[in-house]
């Protein structure tokens, strides 16, 4: 008769299950991820108020930096594979979208971002929303979140504090001195991250459009009752 010492495979899953409490991981990680996403949602109007009304650089920069930190922590939790749920993933995307749109609008209002670039961000969202009727016609609510879109949102989040830090800097400072090297670097890296973010946003839109096209070609449409045609 096999026993525990002989390594009976029928006993291993039960022992492993006791050593790794999956239930506690599934409960804790979604709560942490949702809290991080909610922080970005809460700080979006705070950032708008600080930039456009109060003109408080400290609060505005704190909001921009907090958005970057919470997004990094959220991504770190995902890499740990701690049981990310669809609702938490959707909330993360919504939080990033709201903050990016709000920050783009605020920086456009204070002439940090020119209007052609500021317009590309909401237009990409319009393109995504335009795909929803096609998805619903095939019984699909949303497409899986693409990594490229997450990277694009992170690039934009990083660009905002850098661009804001270097905003309203004259070409020559008092006494005829040029802006300091840190300010020049912040401006250069800020625009690099911003342009890469916008480019990756639209690249991800192309990939989403390809997914929708593939879905339309391979999945029959829904009937009125909710079933699909053969």
> Which tokens hold the place of 32?
């942490």
The values of phi and psi at residue 55, to 5°, are: 55, 45
- The DSSP call for residue 20 is S
Map residue 140 onto helix, strand or coil.
coil
pLDDT of residue 193: 95
How far apart CA 168 and CA 117 sit, in angstroms, is: 18
pLDDT of residue 26: 44
Tokens 């019984």 correspond to 139
pLDDT of residue 36: 80
Long-range Cβ contacts of 114-120 (<8 Å, 24+ apart): 117/194, 117/195, 117/198, 120/198, 120/201, 120/202
pLDDT of residue 47: 92
Question: CA angle 157-160-164, nearest 5°?
Answer: 165
pLDDT of residue 113: 92
pLDDT of residue 105: 95
Closest CA to 7 of 17, 15, 18: 15
pLDDT of residue 83: 46
Q: How many CB atoms lie within 10 A of CB 171?
A: 6
Is pTM beyond 0.85? Reply is no
Q: How many CB atoms lie within 10 A of CB 60?
A: 27
Tokens 């317009």 correspond to 119
pLDDT of residue 2: 47
Beta bridge partners of 222: 228
Are 211 and 152 spatial neighbours (Cβ–Cβ below 8 Å)? no
Which tens digits make up the pLDDT trace of 172-229?
444 445 667 777 888 889 999 999 999 999 999 999 999 888 888 888 877 765 555 5
How far apart CA 51 and CA 89 sit, in angstroms, is: 28
- The DSSP call for residue 225 is T
pLDDT of residue 30: 60
Which residues in the chain come in under a pLDDT of 50?
Answer: 1-28, 82-83, 170-176, 230
pLDDT of residue 174: 46
The Cα-based distances of 78 to 10, 39, 41, 151, 174 in angstroms read 32, 17, 19, 13, 48
How far apart CA 147 and CA 121 sit, in angstroms, is: 17
């Amino acid at each position: 008769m096999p026993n525990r010492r002989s390594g009976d495979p029928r006993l291993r899953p039960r022992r492993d299950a006791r050593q790794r409490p999956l239930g506690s991981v599934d409960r804790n990680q979604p709560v942490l991820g949702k809290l991080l996403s909610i922080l970005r949602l809460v700080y979006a109007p705070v950032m708008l108020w600080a930039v456009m009304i109060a003109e408080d650089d400290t609060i505005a920069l704190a909001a921009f930096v907090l958005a970057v930190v919470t997004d990094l922590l959220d991504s770190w939790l995902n890499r740990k594979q701690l049981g990310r749920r669809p609702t938490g993933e959707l909330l993360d995307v919504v939080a990033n979208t709201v903050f990016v749109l709000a920050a783009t609008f605020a920086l456009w209002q204070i002439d940090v971002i020119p209007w052609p670039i500021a317009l590309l961000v909401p237009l990409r969202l319009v393109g995504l929303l335009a795909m929803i009727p096609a998805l619903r016609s095939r019984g699909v609510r949303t497409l899986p979140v693409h990594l490229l879109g997450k990277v694009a949102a992170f690039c934009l989040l990083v660009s905002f504090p850098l661009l804001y830090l270097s905003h309203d800097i004259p070409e020559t400072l008092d006494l005829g001195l040029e802006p300091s090297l840190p300010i020049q670097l912040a401006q250069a890296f800020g625009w690099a991250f911003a342009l890469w973010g916008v480019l990756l946003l639209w690249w991800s839109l192309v990939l989403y459009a390809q997914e929708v096209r593939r879905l339309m070609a391979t999945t029959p449409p829904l009937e009125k009752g909710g079933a699909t045609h053969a």
